Amino acid sequence: MHETNTLLIEVGALLFLLGLLGRLSRRIGLSPIPLYLLAGLAFGHGGLLPLNASEEFFAVGAEIGVILLLVMLGLEYSANELVGNLRSAAPAGLIDAALNALPGAAFALLLGWDWVAALVLAGITWVSSSGVIAKVLGDLGRLGNRETPVILSVLVIEDLAMALYLPLVTAVLLGAGLMGGGIALTIAVATVLVVLVVAIRFGGVISTLMSAKDAEALLLGVLGLTLLVAGFAAELQVSAAVGAFLVGIALSGPVAHHATELLTPLRDLFAAVFFVFFGLTTDPREIPPVLLPALALAIVTMATKTLTGYLAARRVGIAEPGRWRAGLALVPRGEFSIVIAGLAVSAGSVEPRLAALATAYVLVTVVTGPLLARLPDFPWFKRWLRHRAAAAQRRELARVAD
């Protein structure tokens, strides 16, 4: 009973603090994500006042938070829109991998690490945080923007790529042979294809099983189905986030509309828990020794990720402001990067500084990312874009005149 009382006190106090921080962030016009992360650092391992009794609660809540963020993102789009976006964004996915995975691998080799560490760091710098980006887009009111489907396409391609990358890197870290890696990869590919087919072919049937008129039944049904599919996906070495996202796109019509309204408060609660837990599991004492290398890597890959989004948006005819919004929105890394680093640490066969470097790197990108995402909304940035457009027009007129 004493442990339960302590759990209630810790969870209640931290959630109340998050409420105050969320109110403060909106008063000053910022996303609350960096403040949630700093709160986690303050009360996590090596922080000011470690919270031991509630750590398991926040771990489970963090998993649910990522799942809810992705299912809510999926509810914004239909299965046909997803397929169309994936086809149009396939070249952007290749550019994304080249621009963001290669710098991580090269950085590891420059530090004198082996090829296994280079493979792990490539994954850490490659994939953006779907959870953080979904939260930022919601906070900034951009879910309906023209560039948002482009951002979504890049994220989905990354998540699907992770469904193939994670089994492979796990096999490499454990020293498994080609047979073991091939089996893991085959299971991952088959699972993704099955879930995609079910979502696209039978999405209407799934929606008919839910009643948009009964709020309680709809909430329980959508939440239960999302957690079920996400859990099975994770068991089969496929991203739980991918499973949750596909559930979202499988639902359509009034069911999707009412489910969005019902799940929004839950998403906000557990998303905050996710960001706090990320900070709780990070020991601030490990960050200073690797901070400078992490900053250097973050600066390079934030620039390459911005370029990725910019080029992807330009390919589909998005105007200049939307290109910058797409590029800057993709900057944060998060849940997948930490998962990849955790696999490497568990294997115990890679560079020991990798975990601290990955943590510092993710913290830099996840704190600065939501701030950078706001740049296109500032008046001075809009003026700069207008000057660029005017200069480009003058150059074009001069070229035509010549």
CATH code, domain with 100 = 1.20.1530.20
Q: Residue 323 sits in which domain range? A: 54-401
For the chain, what is the domain count?
Answer: 1
Percentage of the chain beyond pLDDT 90 is 13
45 within some domain:
no
Kindly list the distances between the CA atom of residue 158 and the CA atoms of 50, 130, 293, in Å, as whole numbers in the listed order: 34, 9, 25
pLDDT > 60? residue 1: no
10 within some domain:
no
304 within some domain:
yes
DSSP state of 57: H
Q: Where are the alpha helices (DSSP H) in 140-214?
A: 148-173, 178-201, 203-208
315 within some domain:
yes
Structure tokens at 50: 């470690």
49 within some domain:
no
pLDDT for residue 105: 93
Tell me how far apart the 2 most distant CA atoms of the chain are, in Å.
Answer: 84
pLDDT for residue 303: 95
Structure tokens at 33: 């994500």
pLDDT digits (tens, 9 = 90+) for 28-87: 766 677 788 788 878 876 666 777 667 778 888 888 887 887 788 778 766 666 666 666
CA 18 to chain centre: 21
Percentage of the chain beyond pLDDT 70 is 84
Q: How confident is the model at residue 238 (pLDDT cuts 50, 70, 90)?
A: low
